[in-house]
Amino acid sequence: MSAFGSGSSNSNNRLRHNQAGGDGVLGGTHGAYGMYPHSEYREGAEQRRENDPNDKGSRLKGKVSMLKEVAINIGDEIRDQNQFLTTMGQDMEGMGGRLAQTMKNFYEMWARQGCGPFFYLTLFAIGVVVFMYIYLKAR
């Protein structure tokens, strides 16, 4: 029986034989192991193959190569995600600089023109809020 659960079909045949009332899978008499009368020979061959060190080595080699491939794919994905995060961080830093420059320009404009534009901007915002309140209340 391998690590991935693929055991011999002999146990499945016995189960089918027992469930069918001793007459085999399809209702006929096919021997003690269901419809495969020579399954006991297959089981012996599977046991010999499982006990063969060369076969164990090749199966182990296959599993190791599969794990190596998975590890390489995980590493590639991590590198891609790190590159994406680095790019996103650089973009955010650029946006922070632009936002800071916009605020600086706003403060300079306000300082030059006094509080008149700020007053009108605040009055407009209050008007929008009142309009939205009345509009949503009337709905």
63-113 confidence digits (pLDDT tens): 999 999 999 999 999 999 999 999 998 988 888 888 889 889 878 877 787
The burial of 17, by beta-carbon neighbours within 10 Å (0-12 exposed, 13-18 middle, 19 or more buried), is given as buried
pLDDT of the residue at 80: 96
Q: How far apart are CA 123 and CA 76, in angstroms?
A: 55
Per-residue tokens: 63: 């599993």
**pTM, to two decimals:** 0.37
For 5-10, the CB contacts below 8 A with 24+ separation are 8/39, 8/42, 8/43, 8/46, 9/36, 9/39, 9/42, 10/39, 10/40, 10/42, 10/43
- Angle (deg, nearest 10), helices 39-51 and 10-19: 150
pLDDT of the residue at 15: 47
